Amino acid sequence: MSGLLAAALGGAAGGLALVGIVIVVIVLCLQHRRRTSDSSESSSSGPALPESQGARCLTLEELNSATRNFSSVILIGHGMFGEVYKGLLQDGTMVAVKRRHSPPSQELIQEVNYLSSLRHRNLVNLLGYCQENGMQMLVYEYVPNGSVSTYLHGNSSAPGVRLEFKQRLSIAHGTAKGLSHLHSLTPPAIHMNFKTANVLVDEDFVPKVADTGIPGLLDRLGGTGPSSRISNDPFLDPRLKESTNFSIQSDVYSFGVFLVELVSGRRAVSDQSIIQWVQNFQESSDISAFADDRMTSGFTSESMKELLRLTSWCVNPLSEQRPSMSLVEAEIHRIREQEIRLTTVMTESTPTVTLGSQLFTTSR
């Protein structure tokens, strides 16, 4: 089990990983120093909604009627905070209600007010809360089309939508914007539990990052917080094994693991499998081996290579050397524009013209 991703991706690997990462970092730093400053400017004036929209305190009565008394029929998942129910408020808003057994706490209200101020188009926004009847409940906006996990790892009896490379770039870009917004705040908001299963998509495939700050909230409420995280969570920065100091850099690591899954279509199983992935990438010349072979409409090797390079940069074991989320966002944006440009040129030109780029079609 432990080598699932690594084994699937290819052969054994040697020890040039660190040297390679350092070179990649230097090259990308030189190439994109200017872009960083550009994008950090734009993200601070980003599309955040007014902070004054505090969280609503909902009554148990409202939530009972929204969720048909928390009927198991509309239980849609189990998150870190507790069971998740789908609901419909009186005013017509679809919501996801998270619920756990716990007495009311003033601390929760403060946290909820803070978390609900973190509004962005690429975040699942927290709308309100309720503390009644020995229960704590958080009310979020409902995101209809599920998690990116189910599209990548969903079982074959429910095949779902096939995500092509450009769609994956678009999902990666929107997701990066969500995280980048959190990190642009003063002080930065740290997600702490970023993973593919927490990237939800709406009906237009706009990604929305769920569960922001929940580990921190649970920690402050004295529940199961960061310190009790399972140490083999593949999305967790290996650095956090030394001290549970979540940082914007540990979010960047988690985002890198998300990119590995998004591009390969395979599940990351451990931090070892990520190390192996980086080694394989650095030693391999066959880029197509790293791509999900369900992307049947192909991709250019330029864009794929650049995205893989960015990915390996995000999962750099040295947290100080990882890129910022605003740089990651700008890079993915650039790669996506490039991919659109290259593939458009290709379809407009005659099919016999081969550009400098080699178009892969992975259905061989």
Ligand X SMILES: *[C@@H]1O[C@H](CO)[C@@H](O)[C@H](O)[C@H]1NC(C)=O
Summarize as ranges the residues that interact with ligand X (CB under 6 A): 64, 68-69, 144-145, 155, 157-158, 161, 203, 205, 243, 245
Dihedral through CA 19, CA 25, CA 30, CA 36, nearest 10?
Answer: -170
Cβ atoms 188, 182 nearer than 8 A: yes
Residue 67 CA neighbour count, 13 Å, CB half: 27
User: How buried is residue 176: exposed, middle or buried, by Cβ count under 10 Å (0-12/13-18/19+)?
Assistant: buried
Geometric angle at alpha carbon 363, from 156 and 349, rounded to 5°:
135
Rounded to a whole number of angstroms, the minimum distance from the CB of residue 74 to ligand X is 11
| DSSP designation for 140 | E
- Minimum distance, C-beta of residue 218 to ligand X, in the bound complex (Å): 19
Taking the complex as a whole, how short is the minimal distance between the CB of residue 155 and ligand X, in angstroms?
4
* Nearest CB to ligand X, comparing residues 191 and 309: 191
Structure tokens at 29: 């730093």
Q: Which is nearer to ligand X, 104 or 154 (CB)?
A: 154
Give least dist CB 245 to ligand X, A: 4
Residues 117, 121, 127: CA angle, nearest 5 degrees:
40
Is the torsion defined by CA of 319, 325, 330, 335 positive or negative?
positive
Least Å from the CB of residue 159 to ligand X: 10
Quote the least distance from Cβ 189 to ligand X, whole Å: 14
* Nearest residue (CB) to ligand X, 116 versus 145: 145
Comparing CB distances to ligand X, the nearer of 33 and 241 is 241
Q: Determine the distance from the C-alpha atom of residue 161 to the mean position of all C-alpha atoms in its chain, rounded to a whole number.
A: 19
Q: Which is nearer to ligand X, 311 or 324 (CB)?
A: 324
Cβ 284 to ligand X shortest distance, Å: 31
- Our CB check for ligand X shows the closer of 140 and 246 to be 246
Distance CA(46)–CA(181), nearest Å, equals: 7
Nearer to ligand X, 45 or 157 (CB): 157
CB of 161 to ligand X, least distance (A): 5
Instruction: Estimate to the nearest angstrom the gap between the alpha carbon of 54 and the chain centroid.
Output: 25
Of residues 11 and 188, the one with the C-beta less far from ligand X: 188
Shortest CB 318 distance to ligand X, Å: 14
Of 80, 95, 255, nearest in space to 175 by CA? 255
* Closer residue to ligand X in complex, CB, 4/346: 4
Cα gap 57→75, rounded to integer Å: 22
Order the strands of the 83-88 sheet from edge to edge: 56-57, 126-132, 135-141, 94-101, 83-88, 75-78
E-state strands within 89-228: 94-101, 126-132, 135-141, 199-201, 207-209
Q: How far apart are CA 173 and CA 327, in angstroms?
A: 11
